[in-house]
Chain A
Amino acid sequence: MNYFFKSAITGAFLLGTLSVNAQDLVRKIPADAMAVATIKGNNFLELMSVEEFNSTFFGKEMFKKLKEEQNKSNYASVEDFGFNLASSFYYYNQTNDSVSYNCFLAPVKNAAQLDKLFGESGKKIITNGKQRTFFNADSTKIARWDDEMFLMVLADGRSAYFDRPEIRQRFGMSVLELPQEAVSVDSTATVTDATMDVTNVEPAVEEPKQKVRSKKKSSYQSKSKKTKGKGKKTAKKSNRKKPVVRTVPVEEPMVEYATADAAADAAVAVADSAYSSVEYQDSPYYKDKIIQKSIVARWSTKILDEAFAGTNQGSILKNADFVKNTDPKAEATIWLAGVEKLANAYMPATPYFKGFNFLSGYGSANAKLYLEEKSIRISSAMTFGNEMGSVLRKIQQRKLNKTFLKYVNEDKLIGYMAYAIDTKAYLQEYPKLVSQIYGSMYADEIGMATDLFSLVIDEEAISKVVKGDVMFVFNGLSQKEVSYKSYDYNEENFETTEVMKTKKETLPDFLAMISTEDTRLLNKLITYGVKKEVVKSKNSYYELSIPKSPLALYFAIKDGIIFIGTNGTEMEQIVSNTYQAKVSGRHKTALLGNNYAAYFSPKRLAGKIPAEELGSPSKVEKANKTLNALGDIYMKSYPMNSNTFSGEISMDTPADQKNSLKYLFSVMESLK
């Protein structure tokens, strides 16, 4: 949990410090962004002023690190970075077949401060009117800002694209060694030109690679001469046979802006100086990397040019799903245009994955963070395609068995988890889910297998034994003494004697409830267990004996519920109708209104973890302190709304806390 909070907040503020502004820049995000993360600076400032943040341990630590590790001059306030903290900060990702851009977009308050921040890195900053552009060592990170906005682009050329032979040829990169079949297909196509080619090509192949490459500064022309008049096919082949031929990427239209030239220059120049080894610089891999980076740097510059000139086609504000899922009240939001789309973009480009889509049917998704007065809440939602949506709706038809609540006492428990799915619907729909995933790849085989599944499985019968709703109540931890053999040595002559010693083992204390309709099979199993002396009958409930285990397990079947628990007394009360239940409205609504609900009270667990499990007393104290500082945690899923499945996790903010953000900082501080 602490890691989660730390990462979330660190991420939020790093994002903020890297890329910040006042005027809402959302319009600058392109319509085809695959993912957008938003941080509402203003909402955070309402909860915590800049001064307050600066004096938190986190603020102090950040300034200290900046000074120590990055040699930046003294910063005492997050405002000194030059961003407009009262506005929204964005991260977005744009991915196509050739490149993936990670962009940080932030509102600027004081450009001079940004000049200083980036100027201190010692890297060159190029000024063009009001715009300043910063390049890192190899131009994989380019930032531009003016008086209004800051945009940093971290671009990554995709190897699947840059490995393609025609792309490598176009950009003058060395030829990759291709699998045999790929080569042979090509050579049959050019067989008629083979003799001509060979005469031209052979000397180049025999020469040491470096030599050729060093001479081929203007190789593009020389290659053109050789291949003139041979037609496209031959040109392609000659290049393939000559892994040494390099070209300057003149085919790519040069961006006319002064800064674009600078970008390319910076990429090459800096990359040249980055590696001192001459040998390495001569390697084709290294040269290819420079070419790739300079191409990608030019593309990044184009992104920046368009964003600043406002010439990019369409803004994300034209995307209805994005607009619908933007909540001004949320402190932070993450929105994914389409999970399936995103997964496909990142799926390794190998033939093995062709047609395989385990996220098939997954649409847009979003998660929002709310720091409210009384709770910290993260809500998330995912929209599915029609087919998947209908499957999920059917599966989620079941509600939790109301009778479960008769055996829950919220004063005793530390947490619970309950879920309800319709077993029959699940078994019936399962084949559909499978065929969606494996879809086109093994359509016939999967079709047969799923039919066979339906044939063999009696959905109706199974759903009677296990209806699909389960509740697990965690009542805490208990300790049981166990004995073991050890050796003692007498002082006389260190003679060993075997002795029995005891130690405490920590065991979970729980009760699980499962709805059932048909108990015939279970009854048979119990009878068999009793016969084999694995199960002991205790009148109306049973004890399961597990050899050598100190954990006692009791079970009973009553009112269409299978009870499994660790507490014999509780089981006795359940079967004799003397169990004292207590469930408040909040828990009742959560449990009965949703398909999934979970609750955990860290406070109640505090002090119950045996010291032996944690080790040193200081660890015990720290664990208890942390548990005591945390509020109650609730998780739930909401019923399907059309094709959208949504859920929520929240933690109550203790009453003595001013607000959730300050509370988060205090928890983090106590954990450090």
Chain B
Amino acid sequence: MIKRNLRYFILILLASVFSSCFQIIEEINVAANGSGTVNLTVNLSASKTKVASIMLLDSVNGYKVPSKQKIQKEMDEVVAYLRNSPGISNVKKTVDLENYIASVSFAFKNISNINNVNQNVLKKMKIKAVSNSSYTFSPETNTFQRSYAHTKEALLEYNKLKPEVKNVFKEASYTSIYRFEKPVSSSSNPLAKISKTKKAVMLNTGMMGLINGKTNISNKIILSK
């Protein structure tokens, strides 16, 4: 996923070392022809007072606290990169430094465009992959698939963190929402819920499960014909 590899997000997360919780929300809307839109949000609002006090510091627990300008700059770089990526268009970002909410949204021609973006953003940011995740959608079979494999590296990287920073992840949550034009006939992941309209699938879980590999967010969603 792009979000996990974006440095500005990570920096904000690290900046909130004392905060009790943060939210990551990933929304993907897929049209019948395989195109669609993505919206990624990181929300630190529940910890805003703590983040605000941390932002006044230069570094916390040995991690450099990014300045507001730095966060904006990093975001701009990501947007610029996305705009130049094949199949990606309509890139928008919002950074709310009052509430510490950042989000990026863009449209894609084909879901496979996200996978490329993911890997390239990752390379660009020189960040080691912490998970293997890819998306496929086949209009012929009406199957949307998210393949996710936990990598041990995620846990190794996590274990390297200081205890105070580890605490940040304990209360953090991850939400993914996939919306389709056709109703969903089956969703393979037992953690996922299907909406009343049957056109959306939501999975809400804690970050810790993703880090230690206890939670699997792979899902095979078959749409009715």
Let me know if A549 and B53 touch, CB within 8 A.
Answer: yes
* Docked-complex contact B46 and A487, CB < 8 angstroms: no
B115 contacts partner chain A, Cβ-Cβ < 8 Å: no
Q: Report the minimal beta-carbon distance from B167 to chain A, rounded to whole angstroms.
A: 12
**Cβ–Cβ < 8 Å partners of B98 in chain A:** 548
Tell me if B48 and A489 are in contact (CB < 8 A).
no
10 examples of A-B residue contacts, CB within 8 angstroms: A485-B43, A486-B45, A486-B46, A487-B41, A492-B195, A493-B196, A501-B46, A548-B49, A548-B98, A550-B49
B101 interface residue (CB < 8 Å to A): yes
Contact assessment for B45 and A485 in the assembled complex, using a CB-CB cutoff below 8 Å:
yes
A486 to B21 CA separation, bound complex (whole angstroms) = 11
Q: Which of B128-136, B155-163, B197-205, B212-220 contacts A (4 or more CB under 8 A)?
A: B197-205
Contact, CB under 8 Å: B27 / A485: no
- A487 — which chain B residues lie within 8 A by C-beta? 23, 25, 41, 43, 175
In the complex, the answer to whether B25 meets A496 with C-beta atoms within 8 Å is yes
Expressed in whole angstroms, the minimum distance between the Cβ of A614 and any Cβ of chain B is 13
CB of A505 within 8 A of CB of B49, answer yes
Distance in Å from the Cβ of B91 to the closest Cβ of chain A? 19
Pairwise interchain contact B23-A496, C-beta atoms closer than 8 A: no
Q: Which of B45, B49, B53, B202 contacts A489 (CB 8 A)?
A: B202
**A493 and B52 within 8 A (CB):** no
Contact with B along A483-515 (1 / 0, CB 8 A): 011110101111010000101010000000000
Minimum Cβ distance to chain A for residue B136 (Å):
21
Min C-beta distance of B95 to chain A, whole Å: 14
Residue of A nearest to B197 (CB): A493
A525 within 8 A of B: no
Q: What B residues does A501 contact at CB under 8 A?
A: 46
Q: Which 10 A-B pairs have the closest CB atoms?
A: A548-B52, A484-B45, A485-B45, A494-B200, A484-B46, A494-B202, A493-B200, A494-B177, A493-B197, A485-B99
Per-residue contact bits, chain B 32-59, to A (CB 8 Å; 1 contact, 0 not): 0000000001010111110011000000
Q: Which residues of B contact A505 (CB under 8 A)?
A: 49
Chain A positions 448-507 with a Cβ under 8 Å from a chain B Cβ: 482, 484-487, 489, 491-494, 496, 501, 503, 505
A253 within 8 A of B: no
- How far apart are the CA atoms of A503 and B98 in the complex, in Å? 17
Docked complex: A541-558 residues within 8 A CB-CB of B: 547-550
A493 touches B195 (CB 8 A): yes
A549 to B142, CA, bound (A): 51
Contacts of B197 in A (CB 8 A): 492-493
B96 nearest CB across to chain A (Å)? 8
In Å, the complex CA distance between A296 and B45 comes to 63
CB pair B49–A549 under 8 Å, yes or no, is: yes
CA distance A489 to B52 in the complex (A): 27
Q: Across the two chains, which residue of chain B brings its CB closest to A485?
A: B45
State the Cβ distance, A394 to closest chain B Cβ, in Å. 37
Whether B179 is near chain A, meaning CB under 8 Å from some CB there, is yes
Question: B40 → chain A, closest Cβ, in Å?
Answer: 12
A493 and B23 CA atoms in complex are apart in Å by 20
Beta-carbon contact of A496 and B46 below 8 Å: no
Interface size on B, residues (CB 8 A): 25
CA distance A496 to B47 in the complex (A): 20
Chain B stretch 94-131: residues in CB contact (< 8 A) with chain A: 98-99, 101
Name the distance in Å between A14's Cβ and chain B's nearest Cβ.
29
Measured in the bound complex, the distance between the Cα atoms of B24 and A487 in whole Å is 11
Among B27, B48, B52, contact of A496 (Cβ-Cβ < 8 Å) = B27
Residues on the A chain within 8 Å of B101, using CB: 485
Whether A503 pairs with B46 at a CB distance below 8 angstroms is yes
> With A and B bound together, what is the CA distance between A487 and B201 in angstroms?
16
Q: Which chain A residues border B41 with CB–CB below 8 Å?
A: 487
Contact B25–A494 (Cβ < 8 Å): no
A496 CA to B26 CA, complexed, in Å: 11
Tell me, in angstroms, the Cα distance from A484 to B197 when the chains sit together: 30
Interface bin, chain A = 10 to 19
A489 touches B177 (CB 8 A): yes
- Residues in chain A within 8 A of chain B (CB atoms): 482, 484-487, 489, 491-494, 496, 501, 503, 505, 547-550
Instruction: Please indicate the chain A residues that have their CB under 8 angstroms from the CB of B177 in the complex.
Output: 489, 494, 496
> Which residue on B lies nearest to A612, using beta carbons?
B20
Give A494 to B29 CA distance when docked, in angstroms. Answer: 11
B52: chain A residues within 8 A (beta carbon): 547-549
Which residue of chain A has its CB nearest to the CB of B194?
A: A494
B20 to chain A, nearest CB (A): 9
B45 — which chain A residues lie within 8 A by C-beta? 484-486
- What's the nearest-Cβ distance from chain A to residue B168, in Å? 16
Q: Is A486 touching B43 in the complex (CB atoms < 8 A)?
A: yes
| Chain B residues in 8 Å Cβ range of A496 | 25, 27, 177
Q: Is the CB of A494 within 8 A of B49?
A: no
Please state if B179 and A484 are interface contacts (CB–CB under 8 Å).
no
Residue of B nearest to A547 (CB): B52
Across-interface contacts of A494 in B (CB, < 8 A): 177, 179, 195, 200-202
Q: Closest Cβ of chain A: how far from B27's Cβ, in Å? A: 7
Nearest chain A CB to B147 CB, angstrom units: 22
Q: Which residue of B lies closest to A549 (CB)?
A: B49
Q: Quick one: closest A residue to B101, CB to CB?
A: A485
The chain B residue with its CB closest to the CB of A487 is B25
Q: A496-B27, A496-B177 given as contacts; is B48 within 8 A of A484 (CB)?
A: yes
> A486 CA to B43 CA in the complex, in Å?
8
From A551, which residue of chain B is reached at the shortest CB distance? B49
Q: Which chain B residues lie closer than 8 Å to A550 at the CB level?
A: 49
Question: Judging by beta carbons under 8 Å apart, are B49 and A482 in contact?
Answer: yes
Determine which residue in B27, B99, B179 has the highest number of CB atoms from chain A within 10 A of its CB, and name it: B99
Measured between alpha carbons, how far is A503 from B195 in the docked complex, in Å? Answer: 28
Report the bound CA distance from A550 to B47 in whole Å.
12
Roughly how many angstroms separate A489 CA and B202 CA in the complex, as a whole number? 9
A493→B179 CA distance, assembly (Å):
8
Alpha-carbon gap, A493 to B193, bound state (A)? 11
Taken together as a complex, chains A and B put the C-alpha atoms of A22 and B113 apart, in Å, by 85
Residues of A within 8 A of B43 (CB): 485-487
Judging by beta carbons under 8 Å apart, are A548 and B48 in contact? Answer: yes
Query: Complex formed: what's the CA distance from A271 to B201 in Å?
Result: 67
- Cα separation A505 to B18 with both chains bound (whole Å): 13
Q: Is the CB of A493 within 8 A of B199?
A: yes
Are A484 and B99 interface neighbours, CB within 8 A?
yes
Complex CA gap A505/B50 in Å reads 10
| Closest chain B residue to A498, Cβ basis | B101
What chain B residues lie within 8 Å of A482 (beta carbons)? 48-49
Q: What is the CB-to-nearest-CB distance from B207 to chain A, in angstroms, rounded to a whole number?
A: 16
* Complex CA–CA separation, A313 to B170 (angstroms): 62
Hey, which chain B residues are within 8 Å of A503, CB to CB?
Answer: 46
Determine the chain B residues whose CB is within 8 A of the CB of A547 once the complex forms.
52
Output the residue of B23, B49, B175 with the most chain A CB within 10 A.
B49
Give the distance in Å from the alpha carbon of A100 to the alpha carbon of B76 in the complex: 63
Bound Cα distance A487, B40 (Å)? 13
Across-interface contacts of A484 in B (CB, < 8 A): 45-48, 99
Cα A548 to Cα B48 in complex, Å, equals: 8
Closest partner residue, chain A, to B180 (CB atom)? A493
- The answer on a CB contact under 8 Å between A492 and B23 is no
- Which residues of B lie under 8 Å from residue A491 when comparing CB positions? 195-196
Q: In the assembly, what is the distance between CA of A494 and CA of B98, in Å?
A: 26
- Please report the C-alpha to C-alpha distance between residue A482 and residue B53 in the assembled complex, in whole angstroms: 15
CA A501 – CA B99 in complex, angstroms?
12
Which residue of chain A has its CB nearest to the CB of B53?
A549
What distance in Å separates the Cβ of A387 from its nearest Cβ neighbour in chain B? 39
Q: Which residues of B contact A486 (CB under 8 A)?
A: 23, 43, 45-46
Q: 18 new A-B pairs (CB below 8 Å) besides A494-B202, A548-B52, A548-B98?
A: A484-B99, A485-B43, A485-B45, A486-B23, A487-B23, A489-B175, A489-B177, A489-B202, A492-B197, A493-B200, A494-B195, A496-B177, A501-B46, A547-B52, A548-B49, A549-B52, A549-B53, A550-B49
State how many angstroms separate the Cβ of A200 from the closest Cβ of chain B: 54
Q: For the complex, what is the distance from the CA of A501 to the CA of B45, rounded to whole Å?
A: 10
What distance in Å separates the Cβ of A481 from its nearest Cβ neighbour in chain B? 12
**How far is A471 from B79 in the complex, measured between Cα atoms in Å?**
53
Q: How far is the CB of A87 from chain B (nearest CB, A)?
A: 45
